[in-house]
A and B are shown apart, each in its own frame.
Chain A
Amino acid sequence: MPQGETTYVVVGGGQAAAWIARTLRAEGFAGRLVLIGEEPHWPYERPALSKEFLRGTGSVEAITLLGAAQAGEAGVECWLGQRVTAVDREARVVTTADGRSVAYDTLFLATGGRARRLPGLDSLPAERVHTLRTLTESERLRGALAGAKHLLVLGGGWIGLEVAATARALGVEVTVVEAAPRLCARTMPPVVSDWLHALHESHGVRMVTGVGIADITGTADGVAVALADGGRLEADQLLLGIGIEPEVGLAAAMGLALDDGILVDAQGRTSDPRIFAAGDVARHPSAFARASLRLESWVNAQNQAIAAARAALGGTGVYADIPWFWSDQYGVNVQMLGLPGLGTRAVARGAPEAGSGCWLMLDGSGVVVGAVAVNAARDLRVLRKMLEDGRAPLPDAWADTATPVQRLPSRPNVRAD
């Protein structure tokens, strides 16, 4: 294990960066540890930014993962509010925008991503247009919602839907516009899209799907959106929830292998063996998916970071989690396992569309590719254990709620090559 004068540097100040630093110390790394974050905040978790924190019932303290006291105690030098401008891989030196530099033995990139924007938005009044990725953006949106009558959400993905739910709880009218024919189409099967659509409409959200945007303009007291079908919507606040772009600028300049993210192996190692990457920015091989995945989830940011930190200290473990993700909307807990969007057949256990149950998703050959649970976290957890063991419940038995999931008849769950 590296000791003494060895220096490990983490570029990034989010959840993955914090777990890299925490894990390195927990696993006994005794060298110098420097974390360089672009945001001014101590490393924090993002899920609450669209929910409790946005609603005003959360706190910075509650979401902070590595605060001043903890960093001091653990001996993590945190350079906050500092942007890394260059990494010299030959000299192994990291340089920041304000001219500080540090030499590294091992480097971690946990640069995350930034909210995608649309061209032409810069002409709109800035106080009317929002994206949501950072704590600062959440605070800004919260302030805007306090005086808003009508929020227009562009993008019917998870961020857009969570903000819509929070805005409704705050008494704000909400319209969601999604260009695709259905919500969360990138990751979810139609049955889940339809359920989300109905859930939001039942809470008073106006849903416009399958309609693109022709133009966005500023008005005297807000923004106006011209829809591609000729319709027009006005609102006093606009949220863009159209995904993130992985922050790969630095990695590209360093010449690391990229493919919609930084390519890493199952231990988080990039094409440079001294450099690891983890979290939203990293694309890793997934044994479950039999493909490489770049996941933008809380658990991925945590567990991939932990795996990379351990690997950097000589560990032999790999990151092999089955993808898992959750969302909370209107007090409903939705959890997703595997790759449910690849499924073409949904088998329901219980009544997920009515607020409690779980859809098992099968592909065309009958292999279980994932599941989506509505207020049924426990069933999904037991299913995860089965999938990890290479098995899946018989689809015909899945609906039998009288039998616990762990006692359902099962069969090997292997996709044909």
Chain B
Amino acid sequence: MTEWHDAAATDALSDDEVMGLSIAGVPVALFRQEGAFFALHDLCSHGAARLSDGFVENGCVECPLHQGLVDIRSGAPCSAPITEPVRSYPVRVVGDRVEIALDR
């Protein structure tokens, strides 16, 4: 059964913004894109960098260390040097709170 964790208030992020969270000890980068929320594991699949420190543009986040691009909605790699996907977590909005499930 999916366990949902409270992550943030819905008004904590504007579009194209990202915040780094620790959810039950797991680093999570929470993004807002066109009003919807997405969560990725907050570690680049290429190097030891936090995606929540990255630059958001055109639906992708750019790793601050090596400029590799990751698709915010899926975690799929979009440009060199990233070749492995970043884990993406389910997100839902309950009232004015954003919740994240880790057990996928």
Contacts and interface: CB of A to CB of B under 8 A. Distances in A.
B43 to A, nearest CB: 15
Interface in B62-77: 62, 64-67
Contacts of B81: 302
A303 B66 CA distance: 11
Contacts of A326: 65
B55 A385 contact: yes
Contacts of A32: none
A302 B80 contact: yes
Nearest to B49: A377
B53 interface: yes
B53 A299 contact: no
A308 B81 CA distance: 16
A381 B55 contact: yes
A306 B81 CA distance: 11
Contacts of A306: 80
Interface string A308-342: 00000000000000001010000001000000000
Main secondary structure on A side of the interface with B: helix
A382 B67 CA distance: 12
A19 B53 contact: no
Interface residue range, chain B: 10 to 19
A160 to B, nearest CB: 22
A377 B65 contact: yes
B66 A377 contact: no
Interface in B41-70: 53-55, 57, 62, 64-67
A208 to B, nearest CB: 32
Given A382-B55, A385-B55, A385-B57, A377 B64 contact: yes
A268 to B, nearest CB: 15
Contacts of B80: 19, 302-303, 306
Contacts of A381: 54-55, 62, 64, 67
Contact of B64 (A19, A298, A378, A385): A378
Interface residues of A, number: 14
B87 to A, nearest CB: 19
A333 B53 CA distance: 13
Interface in B5-62: 53-55, 57, 62
Contact of B67 (A19, A324, A333, A378): A324
A218 B46 CA distance: 43
A306 B83 CA distance: 14
A378 B19 CA distance: 13
Nearest to A298: B66
A274 B7 CA distance: 55
Nearest to B52: A378
Contacts of A299: 66-67
A382 B80 CA distance: 19
A378 B55 contact: yes
Nearest to A326: B65
A231 to B, nearest CB: 40
Max chain B CB contacts within 10 Å: which of A19, A306, A378, A382?
A: A378
Contacts of B65: 326, 333, 377
Contacts of A298: 66
Nearest to A381: B55
B53 A378 contact: yes
A57 to B, nearest CB: 11
A298 B68 CA distance: 12
A378 B55 CA distance: 7
The 6 closest A-B pairs by CB, nearest first: A377-B64, A381-B55, A302-B80, A378-B53, A378-B64, A302-B81
Interface of A: 19, 298-299, 302-303, 306, 324, 326, 333, 377-378, 381-382, 385
8 contacts: A19-B80, A299-B66, A302-B80, A306-B80, A326-B65, A378-B54, A381-B62, A382-B55
Given A299-B66, A377-B65, 15 more contacts: A298-B66, A299-B67, A302-B80, A303-B80, A306-B80, A324-B67, A377-B64, A378-B55, A381-B54, A381-B55, A381-B62, A381-B64, A381-B67, A382-B55, A385-B55
Interface of B: 53-55, 57, 62, 64-67, 80-81
